[in-house]
Amino acid sequence: MSTESYTITSLTSKGMGLAHAADGPVYVPFALPGETVAVARVGNEGTVISYGPPSPDRIQPACRHFGPEGKGGTCGGCSLQHQAKPAYNAYKRDLLINALKSKGIDAPVGDLIEAQPHQRRRLVFTVRRPEKALVIGINQAETHHVVPVEECPIASDGLISRLDALHIIARATGHDMFRITVTETLTGLDISMDGLRSGLGERERRAVTEAVMGLRGIARVSANGEIVVEPHKPQLDFDGACVIIPPGAFTQATREAEEAMAKLAIEHIGKAKRVADLFAGIGTFALRIGRKASVHAVESEERAVKALDQAARMTQGLKPVTVERRDLFRRPMTPQELKVYDAVIFDPPRAGAEAQSAELARSQVKRIVAVSCNPLTLARDLAILAKGGYRIKSVIPVDQFLWSPHVEAVALLEK
């Protein structure tokens, strides 16, 4: 280990300060462009010992768990709380611009749709019992150390105010190491526990059930995908369509970002009469679009398909909404199948939709909406579509993951 000083030139795609040494790049967490920092260096990574004059873009972090000065440890959930809003927004937008440029795409990129504190309705916690006391928190970056979370300015008040309930339920499992995904729903918290190595025995299931029945505001608790206790069906509202979400189902992290992305999609497809929603999940887009057009929703996860189908059947005022269980990575929809649709929306996992984009590029679908949480795979997919004759009207960055180096995007294309 050596102690050296560097001037930060930019931020990396992971939100770390980047400096250039004679032997290569040096990555420094919590440093900002223009700052000179003294770091303890190991390999190409540096830990800040002291700062020179602070950047004019440096602000006071919103959370006690943030940064090298984090009280009780540095939570790995945020990396950019110390950056002022204008520079932060520009950084997020540049992540998308640079990804597009890497694939030779010169498309209009809109202003960032901003996130605000206390909007996150879904968080993943780590549970550990290092000694006698059970700890619920978030891993420190690049380590297995769990930082006990006492506050979280990105989380909704309804979620973070129930940390006491999470402790009670976690202790009832009798397990020392697992993950908890918590989603705030209309009917209470949906708590999904995963990584319980031996599952829950009858005694533990009874203890968890008794704990939950003595608490308020808990909709459901599941363990390794199986429901343990369900006082209420956990529901989300998609423009009047109430979806009972399956245990551990993917949901957009914030309602505000979800609604902004849906609005962009609906405006772009315009008067389309038939729409295909690919990688449809539990119906985030399909059920909203169903107010205006008939929708065929395609998704590979069985429980998500069933939840979407049930919601469509139970919701009045929708155009026909059909569902299909299908692995679009292995068996993408072909141009022949797509020819009956006026518009397509696709929202794949981080790996993107390379195979489906290749089929879409050969189709004559008039309008496409591409949604992605990974600018690099989005850029790859857009390049495929552009080569097939699609014009990228605009790409809009959406800050669904506040103070992180992640950005969502919605691309609008037409042929």
Question: Residue 219 is part of a domain; what is its CATH number?
Answer: 2.40.50.1070
Helix (H) or strand (E) holding 368: strand 367-372
Q: Which long-range contacts (CB under 8 A, 24 or more apart) does 178-182 make?
A: 178/127, 179/124, 179/125, 179/126, 179/127, 180/124, 180/125, 180/126, 180/127, 180/136, 181/122, 181/123, 181/124, 181/125, 181/248, 182/122, 182/123, 182/124, 182/125
Distance, first Cα to last Cα, the chain: 56
Establish whether 63 is a catalytic residue: no
Q: Is 55 inside any structural domain? A: no
**Is residue 252 part of an annotated ligand binding site?**
yes
Q: What pLDDT sits at residue 10?
A: 96
Q: What pLDDT sits at residue 70?
A: 60
Same domain, 342 and 193: no
Per-residue confidence at 71, pLDDT binned at 50, 70, 90? low
Same domain, 351 and 403: yes
Per-residue confidence at 149, pLDDT binned at 50, 70, 90? confident
Phi-psi region of 336 (alpha: psi -120 to 50; beta: other; left: phi over 0): alpha
Q: What pLDDT sits at residue 161?
A: 92
Same domain, 227 and 284: no
Does residue 123 register a pLDDT over 60?
Answer: yes
Q: Please give the average per-residue pLDDT across 255-270, as a whole number.
A: 98
Same domain, 307 and 391: yes
Report the chain's mean pLDDT, rounded to a whole number: 94
**Is residue 176 part of an annotated ligand binding site?**
no
CA quadruple 59, 65, 67, 71: dihedral sign: positive
Render pLDDT for 309-339 as a digit per residue (tens, 0 to 9). 999 999 999 999 999 999 999 999 999 999 9
Same domain, 262 and 404: yes
Residue bearing tokens 């729409």: 275
Q: Please give the average per-residue pLDDT across 224-237, as a whole number.
A: 97
Residue bearing tokens 């696709």: 346
Q: Is 394 inside any structural domain? A: yes
Alpha-carbon gap, residue 202 to 134, rounded angstroms: 22
CATH number of the domain to which 278 belongs: 3.40.50.150
Question: How many percent of the chain have pLDDT more than 90?
Answer: 86
Same domain, 105 and 223: no
Give the chain's domain count.
2
The radius of gyration of the chain's CA atoms, rounded to the nearest angstrom, is: 23
Alpha-carbon gap, residue 279 to 353, rounded angstroms: 9
Q: Is 82 inside any structural domain? A: no
Does residue 67 register a pLDDT over 90?
Answer: no
Q: What pLDDT sits at residue 298?
A: 98
Q: What pLDDT sits at residue 58?
A: 96
Catalytic residue among 63, 75, 78, 373: 373
77 contacts 155 by C-beta, under 8 angstroms: no
CA quadruple 371, 373, 375, 376: dihedral sign: negative
Range of the domain at 201: 122-235
Same domain, 281 and 208: no
Alpha-carbon gap, residue 95 to 326, rounded angstroms: 32
Same domain, 110 and 130: no
Same domain, 99 and 193: no
**Is residue 299 part of an annotated ligand binding site?**
yes
CA neighbours within 13 Å on the CB side: how many for 36? 4
Alpha-carbon gap, residue 115 to 96, rounded angstroms: 16
